[in-house]
Structure 1
Amino acid sequence: MVRIGFISLPSRSPALLKCLTAVKYSCDVQEGVLCQCVVDSKFAKQQIQYYVNVGLKVNLKLGGVNHSIPAINFGTISPEKTMFVGLDVTHPSPGSASSAPSVPSIVSSVDRTLGQWPAAIRVQEARNEMITDLTELVQGQLRLWRSKNRTLPANLVLYRDGVSEGQYQTVLDDELPAIKKAISIIYSPAEVKQGVPRLSIIIVGKRHHTRFYPTKADDADKIGNLKHGLVVDRGVTNFCNWDFFLQAHSALYATAKSAHYYVIYDEVLRRLSSEQGQAGAADALEKMTHGLCYLFSRATSAVSICPPAYYADLVCERARCYLSQHFAPSSGSATPASESSGSASVSTAGREVALHDAIKHRMFYI
């Protein structure tokens, strides 16, 4: 049985954040109740758009699918045979307690509609960008896919967020072997020998200073940005490697910022090179990533970065609520105090982010 609760919070209250973190921790970790918080002043206005936005989140938490796009938008990559994965890590910010750990998260698709993205959370040593429990995390998501589809995916496409350009090689050295190890555990030796599943790892970059501007009025939208759907894969990209910029969204104001995608490892799209040439593989990846940007289930239009990376970032933010006594000690503790001084052990912090069994396979973080 699934339980969901609605909680109305006061607006503009100094205790709002403290109340919110306590509610999320209690529902997600302790009680196993899916909860949706609303601001009472906004809810009382009876605005249809506000109710619709809340309804989108509730439907996702209950296991529903808000919208989908035709499979043709993914080109030759079939969503039925492909598990899309998002990975991210959040680190202690200035003002955090010395006990604050780094928190990695993983999300993944579980069906062809790409409407549900269950997540998992771990903790690790502070300021370590490489995910130490990646083998276990990937195993868990593959088992979940198998439980939903009675088979395993033929392709794994990972969108890795939060990695700087100087850490690309570290991802290949540390995280790629961990992913391969998870594959070797879940898949049969015969499948692994045949190269199943094919794997691609794409770094999602948000912190860059590259901007694009229209040179003709016909190419601009109503506020002067380039129209959504812009792809730039030559001229300002890396000459020796495979990367591109994608502006999938329309900015509400100011200058739109494109997301930067950098392919550091590819087996999924490589086979297209022999069929359509390298340009065909690049077009397939760009079309697939653009299509994903329309599947962020909390919005009815395209978002700035693809949902796997976006969702993983949201999961990390939710984990910060559970560990508020470490990340925001001045705002009060939503979780029981673990250690009054010194560094909290990773195992102690791990218990504070251990999701209740009733919600761990649902989109509790939306």
Structure 2
Amino acid sequence: MEKVESEETSGVLPSPPPTLPSAVEPEQLIEPLKRVAISRPGFGKSGRPINLITNHFRVSVNVPDAVFFQYSVSIKSEDNHVVEGKGVGRKVMDRLYQIYYSEMEGKQFAYDGEKTMYTVGPLPQNKYEYTVVLDEVAVKRNGSPSLTESHGETGFKRAKRSFQSKTFNVEISFSAKIPIRPIVLALKGLEADKTGDALRVIDIILRQQAAKRGCLLVRQSFFHDDVRNFVDVGGGVTACRGFNSCFRTTQSGLSLNMDVSSTMILTPGPVLNFILANQNLKDASQIDWGRAKKMLKNLRVKARHNNMEFKITGMSEKACNQQYFPLKVRRDDGTEETVEITVYDYFVNKRKVELSSSAYMPCLDVGKSKRPNYLPLELCSLVSLQRYTKALSSLQRASLVEKSRQKPQERIRTVADAITKYRHDDDPMLKACGISIEKQLTAVNGRVLNAPTLKVGNSEDCIPRNGRWNFNQKKLFDPIKIEKWAVVNFSARCDTSYLCRELINCGRNKGIHIERPHSLIEEDPQCRRSNPVVRVEKMFELLRTKLPSEPDFLLCVLPERKNCDLYGPWKKKNLHEMGIFTQCISPTKINDQYLTNLLLKINSKLGGINSLLSVEKTLPLLKDIPTMILGMDVSHGSPGQSDMPSIAAVVGSRSWPLISRYRASVRTQSPKVEMIDSLFKLLPNGKDDGIIKELLVEFYESSRGRKPEQIIIFRDGVGESQFNQVLNIELEQIIKALELLGVTKLPKFTLIVAQKNHHTKLFQANDPNNVPPGTVVDTRIVHPRNYDFYMCAQNGMIVSFLIQSIGIK
């Protein structure tokens, strides 16, 4: 018979009853939930007042009864294929308006570049079918697989240009009405359907304005082709500065949120220069042409000899002066013959184009698979505003941060000048809605909260100043003892003996007892040229010979401070495969401040506590009611790594009534999926192998057998459109995990969403410095109904966190 332990002695949450009465469904065991966003209960009063301005521009809506009419758009080519390219679609719709202006009674429309267009008021008809012809310039080709010349009495002539016509069939049909009134109701704090739909339409109008100015569009941002906006970050990549603009309903009305934005583009200019920069070379003889071919494929270039644009499809197998192609030439008697000629000879002798550096390099192929068209490298330049979507290296990210930093007053001027320059409200459609935009930044009242006091060792207080706390002359609250540890050095220029002595001395001052390391292990010099994985494996072979047993902790000295290839393989070997805690360092100078920061990390990793909030054990809502705090987030693969699994991580508090100790649980899930799908995971044997069960059991065991009666969830990384998914997918999994553990009365839930990737920025009205840490704004620019606020929690770069609470009643 299976042994059953009581709740008081088992150390785990009680199991559910083995069977349920047939008349009772499992969901009837819990109280029904009403999952709604909390309305704002009031406004904060704590803290000293501060006058601020923000990059919101007040918008007036003077025609509240205006109605947008939505139409479905289908664009097909002559062979009945659907046209999906946004660039082609916009050209077709622009041409359609020019031709059929009168049939549409001159009514302007906003086109999203895909399958939808909007008008203010209806078109004369509900359905239209149009034929649109676009004329495009193309090089005339007479049967040659590459470039063709005609030879007459005057010798060789340049290839002629001809206009190639493309015909498109466009169908427009009415699909829905979107009134602008829901925006007006939302501004009054009233519930209204289709508020988001109306906002999306006027955002599309702004995007169409930018598209007509020739900007690169990236979601709600637009970027101009202006070298003054370019910042070179290395590797052939340039940061292009532009603007992000979107309409938002706020407590004080409708506003246009305008902010500086950046995207990565390939550095425009000569292709050869780009290849050298991309491969970090100075000499063209060292170019890896296989890598260059992969990098250049599908990029657009402009040829200097004819000023035309082409898309790169590949590269020639041979050098320019060895790559032959068949060329038709005309004899003096009028007959034609085909001769073999090199690309180099063709351009130099027949086109009279000077070539100097590309004779011994491959050519760019801008033709089709069975009809190549070769161009010498030095004649081609990369077209501007081509996005770079791969992940930046550590050096590129550091360069981007350093070169694109703006002072607050400079950012204010940039945004204000943009509002004045672009005059968004001059758009005919916005005028038809009675929308006008003020040109002044919005003034708001903020509050600066006092920094929370920390409790450190010897019952001393530590008060953070300017967003920072200093542990100099302080002991840690609960320091650990380090006994079995070692130092490994991957060929870094570091005196590890001196480092260990200073670390032990600093640890003694902080209350950490550190034994002398068992070994100081230097990497074999012969391994330095091996790949990172091999170097890590060799180091572990060396460790096994030096150490009698597995250490509790390893201090690893890396040779490079940034972008070290050893970091990933070393962490994977230690944490994933061996279960050994490790701390990686690459010190430039060893002093007390550096060692103190290092010990704070080490103490936390090994289970110690650096500090507690002084109010941690006295907050009534937390100390009187068993409370569990969860932090949840999902990280995705870098851009361009579409097959990289996403990583879901959840931390749960333990040792109630403390709120400073946590256990982490990590799972992989499908790429690019934001909702966590492993909070509850039912196995075939009926058991739960999900994250929440693991954290609940840890809470129960570390809190003297108490079960959480309220759960506070901090969720990062979700937008407003995903709030309902969090409530209905993730919260539902948490409830199922609780049910399976035998909980019949659910705890109270509070879900708090933290958004840091927004575009609201706060500035001091009469001060050139950043806003002080602790600045909070909960009026005017916040949501008209939901309980949210902006908070700058740190010093330095301006980072405003938008906090939104979703309560479960």
TM-score by length of 1: 0.63
Give the C-alpha shift of residue 163 in structure 1: 0.5
Give the C-alpha shift of residue 100 in structure 1: 1.1
Structure 1 residue aligned with 2:577: 30
Task: Work out the CA distance in 1 between the residues paired with 2:567 and 2:751.
Answer: 35
Give the C-alpha shift of residue 76 in structure 1: 4.0
Unaligned runs of 5+ in 2: 1-483, 485-550, 681-689
Task: Work out the CA distance in 2 between the residues paired with 1:110 and 1:54.
Answer: 25
Helix, strand or coil for the counterpart of 1:53?
helix
Give the C-alpha shift of residue 72 in structure 1: 6.5
Letter in 1 for 2:795: S
Task: Check 1:69–1:52 CA distance in 2 against 1; reply closer, same or farther (3 A cut).
Answer: same
Task: Work out the CA distance in 2 between the residues paired with 1:156 and 1:162.
Answer: 19
Letter in 2 for 1:33: I
Structure 1 residue aligned with 2:703: 149
Helix, strand or coil for the counterpart of 1:123?
strand
For residue 596 of structure 2, the aligned residue among 46, 49, 52 is 52
For residue 123 of structure 1, the aligned residue among 661, 668, 673 is 668
Structure with more helix by fraction? 1
Letter in 2 for 1:32: G
Aligned residues: 248
For residue 167 of structure 1, the aligned residue among 700, 713, 722 is 722
Pick 1 or 2: higher relative contact order, CA cutoff 8 A, min separation 6: 1
Structure 2 residue aligned with 1:299: none
Q: Are 1:211 and 2:211 matched, yes or no? A: no
Helix, strand or coil for the counterpart of 2:621?
coil
For residue 78 of structure 1, the aligned residue among 605, 622, 632 is 622
Give the C-alpha shift of residue 113 in structure 1: 3.5
Task: Work out the CA distance in 1 between the residues paired with 2:675 and 2:609.
Answer: 32
Task: Work out the CA distance in 2 between the residues paired with 1:72 and 1:33.
Answer: 31
Task: Work out the CA distance in 1 between the residues paired with 2:552 and 2:670.
Answer: 34
Letter in 1 for 2:594: Y
Give the C-alpha shift of residue 249 in structure 1: 1.7
Structure 2 residue aligned with 1:198: 748
Letter in 1 for 2:697: R
Q: Are 1:92 and 2:646 matched, yes or no? A: no
Task: Work out the CA distance in 2 between the residues paired with 1:216 and 1:76.
Answer: 39
Task: Work out the CA distance in 2 between the residues paired with 1:13 and 1:37.
Answer: 12
Letter in 1 for 2:649: S
Letter in 1 for 2:692: V
Structure with more strand by fraction? 2
Task: Check 1:123–1:86 CA distance in 2 against 1; reply closer, same or farther (3 A cut).
Answer: same
Q: Please list, as runs of the form range in 1=range in 2, the aligned pairs for 1:5-16 lying within 5 A after superposition.
A: 5-12=554-561, 16=564
Letter in 1 for 2:603: N
Task: Work out the CA distance in 2 between the residues paired with 1:74 and 1:21.
Answer: 41
Helix, strand or coil for the counterpart of 1:131?
coil
Q: 1:202, 1:261 within 8 Å by CA — same for their partners in 2?
A: yes
Task: Work out the CA distance in 2 between the residues paired with 1:95 and 1:205.
Answer: 24
Give the C-alpha shift of residue 63 in structure 1: 0.6
Runs ≥4 residues deviating over 6 A: none
Q: 1:227, 1:250 within 8 Å by CA — same for their partners in 2?
A: yes
Give the C-alpha shift of residue 13 in structure 1: 7.3
Q: Are 1:108 and 2:663 matched, yes or no? A: no
Task: Work out the CA distance in 2 between the residues paired with 1:13 and 1:229.
Answer: 31
Structure 1 residue aligned with 2:611: 67
Task: Work out the CA distance in 2 between the residues paired with 1:250 and 1:74.
Answer: 28
Q: Are 1:257 and 2:799 matched, yes or no? A: yes
Give the C-alpha shift of residue 216 in structure 1: 4.7
Give deviations 1:246-295, integer Å, cap 9, x for gaps: 122222xx4x221111112345xxxxxxxxxxxxxxxxxxxxxxxxxxxx
Give deviations 1:65-117, integer Å, cap 9, x for gaps: 10111227985431572211111111122232x53111111012213333322
Give the C-alpha shift of residue 226 in structure 1: 2.4
Task: Work out the CA distance in 2 between the residues paired with 1:210 and 1:234.
Answer: 13
Q: 2:617, 2:658 within 8 Å by CA — same for their partners in 1?
A: no
Helix, strand or coil for the counterpart of 1:152?
coil
Task: Check 1:129–1:74 CA distance in 2 against 1; reply closer, same or farther (3 A cut).
Answer: farther
Helix, strand or coil for the counterpart of 1:122?
strand
Q: 1:66, 1:115 within 8 Å by CA — same for their partners in 2?
A: no
Letter in 1 for 2:593: Q
Letter in 2 for 1:212: L
Task: Work out the CA distance in 1 between the residues paired with 2:584 and 2:653.
Answer: 25
Give the C-alpha shift of residue 174 in structure 1: 1.1
Give the C-alpha shift of residue 139 in structure 1: 1.4
Q: 1:108, 1:118 within 8 Å by CA — same for their partners in 2?
A: yes
Give the C-alpha shift of residue 35 in structure 1: 0.7
Give deviations 1:221-245, integer Å, cap 9, x for gaps: xx62222222222211111221111
Give the superposed CA RMSD. Answer: 2.2
Q: 2:790, 2:800 within 8 Å by CA — same for their partners in 1?
A: yes
For residue 739 of structure 2, the aligned residue among 184, 188, 193 is 184
Letter in 2 for 1:264: I
Letter in 2 for 1:163: V
Structure 2 residue aligned with 1:349: none
Give deviations 1:119-162, integer Å, cap 9, x for gaps: 11111111111111112111111111111112122221101111
Helix, strand or coil for the counterpart of 1:64?
coil
Q: Which has the larger radius of gyration?
A: 2
Q: 1:60, 1:66 within 8 Å by CA — same for their partners in 2?
A: yes
Q: 1:201, 1:265 within 8 Å by CA — same for their partners in 2?
A: yes
Task: Check 1:264–1:148 CA distance in 2 against 1; reply closer, same or farther (3 A cut).
Answer: same
